[in-house]
Structure 1
Amino acid sequence: MALGSPASATADALRYYPVAPAVQLNVRSGPGTGYSVVRQLPAGAKVAIFCQSPGTTVSGYYGTSNIWDNIDSGEYVSDAYVNTGSDGYIAERCG
């Protein structure tokens, strides 16, 4: 298993971050808007971040960011819609 993959993280080590209020957030297959939408998170969702990658710059509820959060195997959301408490990286880079 690769370090930082969802299967390698233990439940005790996971921290969940809230998605912007009243936002149904697109989950994409890669770190950018050019990747396909694989599902949509409901308003009020919270996500665990396993690693982060640079990608398409997005302007969202929490500002403008090119950081994409890996929330599961092959699933990414723009960090501009996740309240991590930081404008920078809060997890290791994917890869």
Structure 2
Amino acid sequence: MAVEETNTTAEPAVGTGAEGAVSMSVARYPVAPGHRVNVRSGPGTKYGIVRTLPLGASVPIYCQTRGESVSGPYGTSNIWDNIASDEFVADAYVRTGSDGYVAPRCG
């Protein structure tokens, strides 16, 4: 499946690409300014760090899941954002404009 990333906060939309492959538009969201956020292999701080996002990063959110509660610049939340295969960041560090879910639940 081909995935297109956009800088909007629109809901994901599924369509057909030029070669007949299904494509999904995924919104990107900015990480809190001044923070290098750890990307983890699961939805909690007990999961291993896969990488660290650079300052000024923005991330796609493919789906969201409940996990460990974390406090960050955008409040306290138990929502974790899936930004790539087996890669999660705490939603409290991502400016989604919402205290709730902005993407489908992972599952």
Whether TM exceeds 0.5 here: the answer is yes
Q: Which runs of 5+ in 2 are unaligned?
A: 7-24
CA distance in 1, matches of 2:101, 2:49: 23
Q: Which runs of 5+ in 1 are unaligned?
A: 1-6
Structure ID, larger Rg: 2
CA 1:8/1:53 → structure 2, altered by over 3 Å: closer, same or farther? farther
TM-score, structure 1 length as denominator? Answer: 0.89
| Residue aligned with 2:98, SS | coil
How large is the Cα RMSD of the aligned pairs?
1.2
1:26 maps onto 2:38 in alignment: yes
TM-score, structure 2 length as denominator? Answer: 0.79
- Alpha-carbon displacement from aligned partner over 1:14-66 (angstroms, at most 9, x marks no partner): 21100000100000000111100000000100000000000000000100000
Q: Which has the higher strand share?
A: 2
Identical pairs, percent = 62
Q: Which has the higher helix share?
A: 1
Cα distance, 1:88 vs. partner? 0.2
